Amino acid sequence: MNIKKKWSGITITNAAEKYLDHLIKKNNNCIGIQINIKKSGCAGFRYNLSLIKHKYSEDKSSFYVYCKNNINIYISFQDMLLMDKTEIDFVTTDGINMHIKFNNPNIHTYCGCGDSFSIIKKK
């Protein structure tokens, strides 16, 4: 199965782009951000973001790299379909609380606290 043919991609809002660019520049030798979906929480899954400070020593064929204005976002092939058509946003709530928000159409339900989610199974 060629996953790239079934994947529509992700989008990043201008606010998220500015925030991720700030994070990357703030951390010396950072080359991008990796986004994983991990089994966690009461609903089943949770996003995990990490800065990549070195070139991958792993097989690069296991990651898709989305690049927008010199921001590299690494997504494993196993997570691509779970993130299909996701918009990444950076939002401020209650005046001072800020966070990355994933507007993912594949999410079926959130847990009560909103930290984890379940995914609609693709056919």
Q: Is residue 34 part of a domain?
A: yes
Structural domain of 15: 11-119
pLDDT exceeds cutoff 80 at 80: yes
The CATH number covering residue 103 comes to 2.60.300.12
Q: Is residue 41 part of a domain?
A: yes
Q: Is residue 58 part of a domain?
A: yes
pLDDT band at residue 87 using 50, 70 and 90 as cut-offs: very high
- The model's pTM is 0.79
Q: Is residue 1 part of a domain?
A: no
pLDDT exceeds cutoff 50 at 91: yes
Q: What SS3 state is found at 84?
A: coil
Q: How many domains does the chain have?
A: 1
Kindly state the tokens that stand for 102: 């994933």
Strands of the sheet with 32-40, listed across from one edge: 63-68, 71-76, 32-40, 44-52, 117-119, 107-110
> Cα 22 to chain center, whole Å?
16
pLDDT exceeds cutoff 90 at 89: yes
Q: What SS3 state is found at 24?
A: helix
Q: Is residue 51 part of a domain?
A: yes
pLDDT band at residue 55 using 50, 70 and 90 as cut-offs: low
Task: Work out the mean pLDDT of the chain and round it to a whole number.
Answer: 80
Dihedral angle over CA of 71, 6, 60, 14, nearest 10: 10
pLDDT exceeds cutoff 80 at 44: no
pLDDT exceeds cutoff 80 at 77: yes
